[in-house]
């Protein structure tokens, strides 16, 4: 009798990256669902907008973040005219990114680096807790076109990591959105060049996002520097005065002094007589 020793079939092994993607609970249930269904369109949230292509984030914008255009043009990486021209000529077949690369205005690596920086920066604010539900519109694409898609789970994990980092540096969130003023610590630490440049622009009117835009830097990295400077005692959120309370009713003596009512006049005379006793 011949016995054939056949090994059992190998069990299916899921790739670690795929397993981690499916196990991730997510920051936004709606975004997680859109990623699972490989949706294409734009998700509008209270503090930012995320563009999806087949379930991956291809672009992000937020009014609190400088954005890709500012990161590209602020430090001379790209001319402002070239950026505007590419956006004006972009269509469904050729996005602005393709036109910039084809025209030799940018290298592929420089574009991808700035694009990823802008996506993670704006995505941090777009995924902030909000008081209003998000809205998704299917089939909407951004004129920049695909550059380097980011998995939803990667963006959300990075957002959570960034929240934790800021909390460890300085837990008070007021410095993130309030106008900042300079203070003077008795034992100030030595500043980095980045921190010194930021400190020079603190004038009591600018917020951290406005400082980031003025410097042409990512808003989140500016928040890191701001919170470190607050922790060092070198800057602080400006105390915004509360609304002036309603003026109190004038005292009885003031009312009496400005009235012509005869009864009130009699009371004034009685008051003066009593005070003279």
pLDDT at 104 over 50: yes
pLDDT in the model for residue 258:
45
pLDDT in the model for residue 197:
95
The stretch 69-90 carries a mean pLDDT of: 87
Residue 81: strand, helix, or coil: helix
Which of 106-110, 179-183, 256-260 has the highest average model confidence (pLDDT)? Answer: 179-183
pLDDT in the model for residue 186:
72
Beta-carbon-side half-sphere exposure of residue 40 (alpha carbons within 13 Å): 9
The stretch 233-244 carries a mean pLDDT of: 78
Q: Are 84 and 119 in contact (CB under 8 A)?
A: no
Closest CA to 219 of 118, 89, 140: 118
Q: E strands within 64-173? A: 135-138, 150-151
pLDDT at 70 over 70: yes
CA atoms of 181 and 190, how far apart (whole Å):
19
Give the lowest-confidence range in 14-18, 118-122, 125-129: 14-18
pLDDT in the model for residue 253:
47
Residue 234 DSSP symbol: S
Give the lowest-confidence range in 70-74, 91-95, 189-193: 91-95
The pTM of the full predicted model, rounded to 2 decimals, is 0.76
pLDDT in the model for residue 259:
45
pLDDT at 56 over 80: yes
Higher-scoring residue by pLDDT: 72, 187: 72
The stretch 48-72 carries a mean pLDDT of: 94
Query: Residue 255: pLDDT band by 50, 70, 90 thresholds?
Result: very low
In this structure, the dihedral spanned by the alpha carbons of residues 242, 173, 226 and 47, taken in order and rounded to 10 degrees, is -90
Q: Which residues pair with 181 in a beta bridge?
A: 236
Q: How far apart are the first and last CA of the chain?
A: 137
What is the total residue count of the chain?
277
Q: Are 70 and 216 in contact (CB under 8 A)?
A: yes
Supply the mean pLDDT for the chain.
83
């Amino acid at each position: 009798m011949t016995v054939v020793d056949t090994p059992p079939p190998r069990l299916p092994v899921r790739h670690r990256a795929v397993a981690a993607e499916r196990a991730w609970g997510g920051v936004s249930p709606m975004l997680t669902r859109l990623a699972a269904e490989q949706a294409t369109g734009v998700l509008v949230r209270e503090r930012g907008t995320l563009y999806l292509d087949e379930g991956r984030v291809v672009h992000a914008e937020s009014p609190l973040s400088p954005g890709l255009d500012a990161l590209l043009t602020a430090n001379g990486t790209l001319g402002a005219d070239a950026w505007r021209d590419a956006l004006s000529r972009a269509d469904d077949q050729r996005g602005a990114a393709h036109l910039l690369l084809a025209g030799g205005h940018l290298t592929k690596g420089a574009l991808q680096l700035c694009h990823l920086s802008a996506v993670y920066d704006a995505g941090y604010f777009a995924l902030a807790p909000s008081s209003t539900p998000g809205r998704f519109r299917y089939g909407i694409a951004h004129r920049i076109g695909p550059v380097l898609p980011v998995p939803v789970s990667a963006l959300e994990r990075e957002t959570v990591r960034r929240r934790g980092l800021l909390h460890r540096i300085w837990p008070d969130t007021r410095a993130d959105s309030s106008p900042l003023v300079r203070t003077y610590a008795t034992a100030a630490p030595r500043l980095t060049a980045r921190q010194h440049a930021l400190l020079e622009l603190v004038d009591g009117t600018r917020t951290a996002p406005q400082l980031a835009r003025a410097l042409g830097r990512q808003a989140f990295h500016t928040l890191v520097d701001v919170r470190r400077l607050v922790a060092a005692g070198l800057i602080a959120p400006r105390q915004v005065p509360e609304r002036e309370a309603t003026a109190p009713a004038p005292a009885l003596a003031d009312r009496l002094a400005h009235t012509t009512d005869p009864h009130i006049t009699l009371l004034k005379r009685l008051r003066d007589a009593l005070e003279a006793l």
